[in-house]
Structure 1
Amino acid sequence: MSPTRKLTALRAKLQLATFPDELENAQWKFGSPLADIKRLTERWKKRAINEELPMFTRDIDKSETVDAIPLLFCHGWPGSFFEVIKILPLLTASTAEHPSFHVVALSLPGFSFSEAPHKQGFAHKLMVALGYNEYVTQGGDWGGIITRKMASTYGGRHLKAWHTNIPIPEPPSWKSPLSFLSFLLTPWSIEEKAGIERTKWFRTQGQGYYTQQSTQPQTLGYSLTDSPVGLLAWIYEKLVLWTDNYYWSDDEVLTWISLYWFSRAGPAASLRIYFELRADTEDMGRNPTIPMGASFFPKELIVLPAAWLRKSNNVVFESHHKTGGHFAATERPEELVRDVRKMFAKGSPAFGIVPGRTGYDSHVQQ
């Protein structure tokens, strides 16, 4: 279907949308509020989508710094490559005060305008194809899980270090008696208690989507593919509840939703990663040994004690923030970039970890 016909079909579907009723004063207790979805639907009808979402792909944004560090940015669900938009100019900026990066903003296969994967190892092969035989990564949500797998598989020879804003450590167990005993005897801090409560909330009240998408994604896919309002409500709920009081403008929300509605493979394709990788996430394999950086945001979906992370990972950089949630690159771009810069800055354990690339321009007087 041509872009023009897709736009016509979208507007027709939005015009014919039927909305459910709603309990009085429900607010967010039962999901996306009716008033919000109606407002966004009206805005979507009138929005000049082609002007705000030009149909092109962009693989890489290069820094002007000669020795910039190649960095693969990997998003998750319900995000897209669009999440890099705020941090891209910050990461590629060239100054004498902090390292600079060549950023490859990957669009996961089946998401947005990317095709479905044909072979394994697509992200690593992309970096090599672009001429980056040695590189570092940054990711959240599925991006954090995928780059962890890459760190296990390609760590050392190709992937030199990885940073994530969704650090998920292994909890202590009797398999390591000393670690488990330390867990039992060490009291939690106020921040750690808050993190545990946030994790409990997610696992008891916010994880229904995961069960559906990891077991019967095709069934859900019919609704999300046929109904733009259904897709809007499904994703809008996550954008609001997974952030830390972040203000989403209506146009910002509709950009995120439109990238799924107009995706090459359709909205349902992005759900299958939950089904396909479910077994892998249950068995994460060996822990990566390459340097790891972790940024902790209080309203992330899973917030567990950092001490657990250090037990099984080579953590060389760690940062704890007072605010921020699941979409760090959108909510707190300056803070996330500051963390990545510090991890690879002069004097840090990961400085110069990519041979010949320090992130500082060796050809400029500093």
Structure 2
Amino acid sequence: MSSGTPFQINVPDEKLSTLHAKLELATFPDELEDVGWTYGVPLADVKRLTERWKNGYDWRKHEKEINEELPMFTRDIDVDGFGELNIHYVHKKSEIADAIPLLFCHGWPGSFLEVRKILPLLTASAPEHPSFHVVALSLPGFGFSEAPKKQGFGLDQYAEVAHKLMVALGYNEYVTQGGDWGGLITRRMASVYGGRYHKAWHTNMPVSKPPSWRSPLSFLSFLLTPWSVEERAGLERTTWFHKKGRGYFIQQSTQPQTLGYGLTDSPVGLLAWIYEKLVLWTDNYNWSDDEVLTWISLYWFSRAGPAASLRIYFELRNDCEDLGQSPTIPMGASFFPKELVVFPAGWLRKSNNVVFESHHTTGGHFASIEQPEELVRDLQKMFEKGGPGFAIVPGRAGYA
């Protein structure tokens, strides 16, 4: 099977000129004294990053590095009822022929770039752990993938695109890894394509419904079982997110177009909107300014523009509230303490076929960036010899 049409990022010079012109004209709000992060992103941070973006940050350097590190391609995928979408993705094969095909799926405000640190670790050849053939797509409307043109592009359609991409690459049987929206998309893939195609799934954002009175024994156990220290901390993190960190979700899931004007017209607005999440959603991760600006630049230079990425919230908002029937194929879960929502693992086990779980003492929402070695080791443990997912893809144990 063909890997697709080779792709290299090459932002036109006029787009760079427009960006710099807008940055030169940036107008900043005032700020109250000694507020820190209480009211949102500090003015000093945004001014520093804006100045770096204008004078010092070299997009061409980072563009070249991404092109050299990540083998990228595009391919047309036909989506039922929506026609063909041209999809951008990373595809790197292991040197081991029977490596396990793995789809990596990002969310918002992430991108295909989240696979950057874990790609060489996953595809590495070593006798002590399995290796993977890795595919990391840009979701429709993100990065360099074409955006849907019609309303109603929901969870089933995102799952369809990802599944058809894997099959088009010759991976009729595969496993997945995802967080944020990628966790829900791969969960739906597990429900729709699980068994015949999709053999197992892993997520670093395990979500589940709390026990219900409709299942009396589970509900009684929930009421009587004392919380562990980890579970109490997880519920405190979840409460913080729902009370103080979820405003973006309400806006993007109800009126994404309105917000889109600001993010599309103002690079400083886009910077502040996403930078807030990069800082507050991680576990004291030490972002370099250039790392932040590359992340933001990928949204600014994206094929469909930053507004397109917001619409996933409108289309999938109900899927967050009603998770639907749980998949039955094997599931792996990695728990990181500064994830946005951290539910007790027992809730997850009651409604999913959890065969592997790992609990970490550090890390947040962007696991592949913050804790790449730990995330990869979890995947290796899940699918290695003696692990619950060993040889779950027939003929592909991942070893030489």
Superposition TM-score tier, normalisation by shorter sequence = over 0.9
Letter of the aligned partner of 1:91 in structure 2? Answer: L
Number of the residue aligned with 1:294: 333
Number of the residue aligned with 2:138: 107
Number of the residue aligned with 1:262: 301
Number of the residue aligned with 1:364: none
**What 5-or-longer segments of structure 1 have no aligned partner?**
362-366
Number of the residue aligned with 2:125: 94
Aligned-CA RMSD value? 1.3
Following superposition, the deviation at residue 286 of structure 1 comes to 1.1
Count how many residue pairs are aligned between Structure 1 and Structure 2. Answer: 361
Following superposition, the deviation at residue 278 of structure 1 comes to 1.2
Letter of the aligned partner of 2:242 in structure 1? Answer: R
Letter of the aligned partner of 2:357 in structure 1? Answer: E
Number of the residue aligned with 1:45: 54
> 1:188 aligned to 2:211?
no
Following superposition, the deviation at residue 281 of structure 1 comes to 2.7
Following superposition, the deviation at residue 53 of structure 1 comes to 1.8
Number of the residue aligned with 2:109: 78
Number of the residue aligned with 1:33: 42
Secondary structure of 2:189 counterpart: helix
Deviations along 1:330-354, one digit per CA (max 9) or x if unpaired, are: 0000000000000001011210000
> 1:66 aligned to 2:97?
yes
Following superposition, the deviation at residue 117 of structure 1 comes to 4.2
Number of the residue aligned with 2:15: 6
Deviations along 1:92-135, one digit per CA (max 9) or x if unpaired, are: 00000000000001111100111124783110000000000000
Contact 1:14 1:41 in 2 (8 A): yes
Letter of the aligned partner of 1:131 in structure 2? Answer: G
Contact 1:149 1:284 in 2 (8 A): no
Secondary structure of 1:53 counterpart: helix
Distance in structure 2 (CA, Å) of the matches to 1:124 and 1:143: 13
Distance in structure 2 (CA, Å) of the matches to 1:20 and 1:112: 29
Distance in structure 1 (CA, Å) of the matches to 2:393 and 2:297: 37
Distance in structure 2 (CA, Å) of the matches to 1:106 and 1:221: 23
Contact 1:144 1:164 in 2 (8 A): yes
Following superposition, the deviation at residue 2 of structure 1 comes to 7.0
Letter of the aligned partner of 1:62 in structure 2? Answer: K
Letter of the aligned partner of 2:144 in structure 1? Answer: F
Contact 2:174 2:199 in 1 (8 A): yes
Number of the residue aligned with 1:252: 291
Deviations along 1:221-264, one digit per CA (max 9) or x if unpaired, are: 00000000000000000000000000000000001000000000
> 1:317 aligned to 2:356?
yes
Identity %: 77
Q: 1:277 aligns with which of 316, 335, 339?
A: 316
Distance in structure 1 (CA, Å) of the matches to 2:148 and 2:135: 18
Higher relative contact order (CA 8 A, sep 6+): 1
Deviations along 1:129-182, one digit per CA (max 9) or x if unpaired, are: 000000000000010010001001001010000000000011001111000000
Contact 1:91 1:103 in 2 (8 A): yes
Distance in structure 2 (CA, Å) of the matches to 1:320 and 1:279: 29
Letter of the aligned partner of 1:3 in structure 2? Answer: P
Letter of the aligned partner of 1:40 in structure 2? Answer: L
Q: 2:201 aligns with which of 162, 166, 175?
A: 162
Letter of the aligned partner of 2:122 in structure 1? Answer: L
Contact 1:295 1:320 in 2 (8 A): yes
Number of the residue aligned with 2:259: 220
Secondary structure of 2:199 counterpart: strand
Distance in structure 1 (CA, Å) of the matches to 2:92 and 2:142: 20
Q: Structure 1 residues 146, 2: CA separation in 2 closer, same or farther (over 3 Å shift)?
A: closer
Distance in structure 1 (CA, Å) of the matches to 2:341 and 2:203: 13
Number of the residue aligned with 2:176: 137
